[in-house]
Amino acid sequence: MNFGAVPLDAAEGAVLAHSVALIKGRLKKGRVLSAEDVAKLHDSGLSEVVVARLGPGDIGEDEAASRLAAAMVPDPAAAHLRIGKAATGRVNLFAEALGVAGIDAEKIHAINAIHPMITVATVPPWQRMGLRGMVATVKIISYAVPEEALARACAMGRDALRLAPVQIRRAALIQTVIGAEDGEKGQRAIAERMDRLGVDLAPKCLVRHEVADLAAAIGQARAEAVFILTGSATSDIDDVAPEALRAAGGVVHHFGMPVDPGNLLFYGDLRGVPVVGLPGCARSPALNGADWVMERLLCGVPVTPMDIARMGVGGLLKEIPSRGRPREG
Task: Say which DSSP state 33 is in.
Answer: P
Beta bridge partners of 73: none
Q: For the whole model, what pTM was predicted? A: 0.91
Give the whole-number percent of the chain exceeding pLDDT 90. Answer: 93
Q: What is the dihedral of CA 187, 189, 191, 197, to 10 degrees?
A: -160
Contact 223, 202 (CB under 8 A): yes
Q: Which helix (H) or strand (E) holds 212?
A: helix 211-220
Coil, helix or strand for 214?
helix
- Strands 58-60 and 81-83, bridge-based pairing: unpaired
Please, which contacts does 187-193 make with residues 24 or more away whose CB atoms are closer than 8 Å? 189/282, 189/283, 189/284, 189/285, 190/227, 190/229, 190/278, 190/282, 192/285, 193/291, 193/294
Dihedral angle sign, alpha carbons of residues 287, 291, 293, 299: negative
Q: Give the pLDDT confidence score for residue 98 in this predicted structure.
A: 98
Q: Give the pLDDT confidence score for residue 325 in this predicted structure.
A: 64
Strands (DSSP E) contained in 86-232 are 90-95, 99-103, 118-122, 128-129, 134-140, 144-146, 161-165, 170-177, 200-201, 205-208, 225-229
Q: Please give the CATH architecture assigned to the domain spanning 2-53.
A: Alpha-Beta Complex (3.90)
CATH of domain 58-164: 3.90.1170.30
Domain with CATH 3.90.1170.30 in the chain: 58-164
Burial readout 91-130 (b: 16 or more C-beta within 10 A, e: otherwise) = bbbbbbbbbbbbbbeebbebbeebbebbbbebbeebbbbe
Q: Give the pLDDT confidence score for residue 24 in this predicted structure.
A: 87
Domain with CATH 3.90.105.10 in the chain: 2-53
Q: What is the mean pLDDT of the chain?
A: 95
Residue 289 has pLDDT above 70, yes or no: yes
Nearest alpha-carbon partner for 249 in 221, 224, 230, 229: 221
User: Which option is the CATH number for 170-309: 1.20.1270.360, 3.50.50.60, 3.40.980.10, 1.10.8.80?
Assistant: 3.40.980.10
Find the mean pLDDT for residues 91-109.
98
Distances (CA, A) of 177 to 58, 84, 101, 183: 67, 50, 36, 8
Query: 131-178, pLDDT tens digit by residue?
Result: 999 999 999 999 999 999 999 999 999 999 999 999 999 999 999 999
Distances (CA, A) of 272 to 102, 275, 311, 328: 23, 9, 24, 40
d(CA 79, CA 165): 9
Find the mean pLDDT for residues 4-22.
93
Burial readout 145-170 (b: 16 or more C-beta within 10 A, e: otherwise) = bbeebbebbbebbeebbbbbbbebee
Find the mean pLDDT for residues 75-104.
98
Q: At what angle do helices 147-156 and 61-72 cross, to 10 degrees?
A: 20
Domain with CATH 3.40.980.10 in the chain: 170-309
Q: Which helix (H) or strand (E) holds 42?
A: helix 35-43
The confidence band for 324, taking pLDDT boundaries of 50, 70 and 90, is: low
Nearest alpha-carbon partner for 279 in 261, 294, 295: 261
Cα three-residue angle 184-190-191, rounded to 5 degrees = 85
